[in-house]
Structure 1
């Protein structure tokens, strides 16, 4: 499913706004999984329509990472996009206000996207957290998702969806919107699911040594010529280090599957520059920045052995969110979407069943 996403993503007072371009566009690739038909019965006609889900993947992933969880939720209609700059979705492009009216709406092939704009009216956008949150809003608008539906994010996706939900709740929206701008109706989701939520600043405490090494890895890619940068970022050694440090399961079939997924999709980014921007957005923010503005029901589903968060950080995050519910997934870490997809799906299903 392809369409061009358009969204004003600048937020007054934030340092992470786009570099002067108010309109962002890309030809977004979205995978649509229809709900499986339920068994017919006397009460089928009286049942409320199943909630639809929008799932947002993590850093250096794409929609493939959510596949096992989608498979475990057959009763729901699910949408899973590739984030801008990853998988089949090109990086974001910005357009000046003069070009805003010329940006296309829904369309088909990727080559019909905003890259056809005239010279001087468009250029690369900064892939900030605000930009990714705006991308989610554009998706929700295009897919007509809203008050009855559920937004879910894994890892970096948990930060993105938290930022999006915080920006679109009534109180936060009123506080952040320019008073001179016309009022906008905020989007209301039925609930927010955060899988392996990022609760800790990774540049502090026991997470600092690993975070510093990863930071150097991505910085080095910008100091090298393009060919060498690509070799570094796509290095089998980098994948091996990721596997060794992140895989918790000892089931041979699962280990082989995760390694193969990383081999196929770990390097599915558009270019080193976009990848670095996404890394900065993922590593310089946490869900805690938005926790007290998440006024909707929130599921926190961390892995008990999560390598990127601490138990204390998860407890602190839980205490900050007014309507949070925590369900810890045992015997897994940050890669719970590969190691415990059925358990993650059950946690989501139980959470959704409690929503009004």
Structure 2
């Protein structure tokens, strides 16, 4: 089925379970973290033409997509649909969707910090055999994760030794693409009132017994507030789709503790803090009406990137992956072809 605003039929991915086992970042090597990642693999339908027809075509980059906070692989589906000629991998992050939280080899669950999520991306990339010809893509919180991962220190080519965390086993990617990148500290300026309200909501749930916290976190009112504050689209079909996606997947987290740790990681960091260290081509694709960043913040982020390029999508905000998937995919395709 082709929805009017998506422009492309849905692709069918193959689900895989990918075991992860890696040393906890910043640890002395004694603590290992592990889980089994649910991942959807989309085989390419054809090979895209090179940017310059006079050149012999190189292998098309494979793409690894990292979704945002309170999401899972479903959030990336419409952009994946619009790139049928690329091989794409889309995991559920640890603690979200069908992927269980990370656990320590010594027993008990791990703390899901930004550094841990960045290290899990490295471990996953190694398991998938991704190397310096491939491209890493992140949306929202995923943009922070992939920036933190890529800024940790590049290693040319695939990593063949043991994965030791984001600080020592990060690889050189061909490029990064960041959809709705988080450029601003949300606790400053015009973003502060909304951020303070959300922060109070999550702080409240930390104080509640788990059963009550679950009720608050999964309450329909939370989805309603998110929809009202984040949806920019005016087309009824698009609005209905977004509401249905949030109804199905907004509460697809494993447990309140993991969700709150991920919230803390997503709200206390930005892509901007890692930008100067990103010594590779980086595409920024913000929405012109992004509710979690400002135009000035996005420009500042672009200027900090040694090889940064931005394509701003009009008439959309932070939910551009739902509202403008075809334009977002076209921006990514242009970026990929420019890497040839």
Shorter chain as denominator, the TM-score bin is 0.7 to 0.9
Could you say which residue in structure 2 is the equivalent of 1:36? 45
Structure 1 range deviating more: 189-198 or 18-27: 18-27
Instruction: Return 274-283 or 18-27, whichever deviates more.
Output: 18-27
What are the Cα deviations for residues 83-133 of structure 1, in whole angstroms up to 9, with x where unaligned? 0000000001122xxxxxxxxxxxxxxxxxxxxxxxxx2221000000000
CA distance in 1, matches of 2:145, 2:64: 12
Distance 1:222 1:126 in 2: 15
Equivalent residue runs for 1:208-227 within 5 Å = 208-227=192-211
Pick the aligned partner of 2:33 from 24, 34, 38: 24
Q: Does the Cα contact within 8 Å between 2:286 and 2:311 map onto a contact in 1?
A: yes
Structure 2 vs 1, CA of residues 39 and 301 (structure 1 numbering), >3 Å: closer, same or farther?
Answer: closer
**TM-score w.r.t. length of structure 1:** 0.84
> How far, CA to CA, are the matches of 1:206 and 1:39 in structure 2?
42
Q: How many residues align?
A: 310
Following TM superposition, by how much is the alpha carbon of 1:7 offset from its aligned partner in structure 2, in angstroms? 2.1
Query: Is the aligned partner of 1:90 residue 2:75?
Result: no
**1:207-243 CA-partner distances (Å, limit 9, x unpaired):** 1111111011111112122222111101111100000
Q: String of CA shifts for 1:34-71, please: whole Å, max 9, x gaps.
A: 0013599xx9xx64322100000000000000000000
* Residues in 1 aligned to 2:213 and 2:29: alpha-carbon distance in whole angstroms: 28
What CA RMSD, in Å, does the superposition of the two structures yield over aligned residues?
Answer: 2.0
Unaligned 5+ segments in structure 2 are 1-15, 157-166
Residues 21 and 125 in structure 1, CA contact (< 8 A), matched pair in contact too: no
1:20 deviates by: 8.7
CA-to-partner distance for each residue in 1:255-313, whole Å, 9 max, x for gaps? 00000000000000000010000000000000011000000000010000000000010
Is the 1:21–1:94 Cα contact (8 Å) retained in structure 2? Answer: no
Give me the TM-score of the superposition, normalised by structure 2.
Answer: 0.87
C-alpha contact (below 8 Å) 1:19/1:125 kept by paired residues: no
Deviations for 1:141-187, whole angstroms, at most 9, x for unmatched residues? 0000011000000000000000000013269xxxxxxxxxxx96651
Provide the C-alpha distance between the structure 1 equivalents of 2:177 and 2:280, rounded to a whole number of angstroms. Answer: 11
Is residue 281 of structure 2 the alignment partner of residue 297 of structure 1? yes
What is aligned with 1:194? 178
Residue of 109, 132, 136 corresponding to 1:124: 109
